[in-house]
Amino acid sequence: MTKIILTTGEGKKTEAEHFVRLMEISAPEYFPALLGPKFREVFERLFIEKANLFSHEHVVFAVYEGQIAGMLLSYDWKTKEREEKRTGWLMMKTLGFDFLKRLPAFLSAGGGSGRLEEGDYYVSNVAVYPEFRGRKIGKALMLKAEELARESGAKRIALDVERENKVAIAVYKKLGYSVEREHTVGLEGRTYEFYRMVKELKRER
């Protein structure tokens, strides 16, 4: 049986290319609508940089048969508070004037997706390449998120999932998550509907 190896991102260019592709897989329509045509450039730059919410510092890659097969991007409420402004500044530097045009979209997204309570650990994105699905890689990444959440001192783990993503919702429910609320984000004339799903973290004895 092939072992899934979980490894923290190091900020390498080759990793950045995987990160960009996997971020696109995790939300193929949402990110281009939010960030525009430069969305790949934004993610690549932010992944390589430190101290921002898309940094390699917050990424865990799943390696299967020697290849990167999937990734997890996650962080706690303290990191969100500390790095949110720098993340916006880096996005502005990369997008230039296009940032101002997209500011209403960022504000709309920030008001729903990604909003954290004190004591929350947030699973921002999790994705597995199609050719590696069915090998429990996604589950391994989600269990890693719980481990990181406990290490951070979080009381619960939270994520946002599009309402139409029935497969992911079923998986999260199986892992013990429940729907806390619904919210919407308006982008490019389209409304994206999300569930905020949460799971209380039991203290390990």
CATH number at residue 191: 3.40.630.30
pTM of the model: 0.95
Query: What confidence score (pLDDT) does residue 204 get?
Result: 60
| Span between the terminal Cα atoms of the chain, in Å | 30
Query: What confidence score (pLDDT) does residue 159 get?
Result: 97
Q: What Rg, from alpha-carbon coordinates, does the chain have? A: 16
Query: What confidence score (pLDDT) does residue 114 get?
Result: 67
Taking the CA atoms of residue 111, residue 113, residue 115 and residue 119 in that order, the dihedral angle to the nearest 10 degrees is 170
Q: Does some domain include residue 189?
A: yes
How many domains does the chain divide into? 1
Q: Does some domain include residue 166?
A: yes
Query: What confidence score (pLDDT) does residue 83 get?
Result: 95
Q: Does some domain include residue 127?
A: yes
Q: Does some domain include residue 205?
A: no
What domain range includes position 156?
Answer: 4-200
With a CB cutoff of 8 Å and minimum separation 6, the contacts of 98 are: 36, 38
Query: What confidence score (pLDDT) does residue 52 get?
Result: 97
Query: What confidence score (pLDDT) does residue 187 get?
Result: 85
Grouped pLDDT means (10 residues each) for the chain, 205 residues: 93 98 95 92 97 97 97 97 94 90 79 81 97 96 98 97 94 97 88 95 72
Query: What confidence score (pLDDT) does residue 111 get?
Result: 64
User: Which amino acid, one-letter code, is at 59?
Assistant: V
Q: Does some domain include residue 45?
A: yes
Distance of CA 70 to the CA centre of its chain: 12
